[in-house]
Structure 1
Amino acid sequence: MNKDHESPEERRERLRQEELKNPSSSVHGSNLADLVGGLNWKVTGSIIIVGLLIYFIYGIFFR
């Protein structure tokens, strides 16, 4: 595909793949953006909500 006509998601993925080929150019390494980069906002929000619920339940019962 022509680099001029690619979507932002395709460009982001292409740059990420190039960075994985040459990891010494990466300053940050693996991070949260890599984790949620392939997920949509609903899945990401669901993960955050479930994590907060677990945190609060743990705080209530194990205090």
Structure 2
Amino acid sequence: MTDNNESPEETRERLRQQEIRNNPTGNLHDSFHRANSGSLVDLFNGLSWKAAAVLILILIIGTIIMLAFFK
């Protein structure tokens, strides 16, 4: 059923999807609390690698600008 050549990311995603199917009320609880705090995992899973790289660059450049501004 599982492929031995599966990457760790694919394994994690498969297990996460399996947990969502098997425990919908737990998923509801997680979703409610995730909406309050946000989830980087879901943010980066929804983005392509290029969009994720741009987001990281924006965060780094913004941090550098803030450090220079408040110095």
Over aligned residues, Cα RMSD in angstroms?
3.2
- The percent of aligned pairs where both chains have the same amino acid is 25
Give unpaired runs (5+ residues) of structure 1: 1-7
Q: Does 2:54 align with 1:46? A: yes
Query: Please, what TM-score do these two structures have when normalized by structure 1?
Result: 0.57
Structure of higher RCO (CA pairs closer than 8 Å, 6+ residues apart) = 1
Deviation per CA, 1:6-56: give whole Å up to 9, x if none.
xx6xx75x8175378232696xx7431111111110000100000100000
Give unpaired runs (5+ residues) of structure 2: 1-9
Query: Aligned residues, how many?
Result: 51
Whichever structure has more helix as a proportion of its residues is: 2
Query: Please, what TM-score do these two structures have when normalized by structure 2?
Result: 0.51
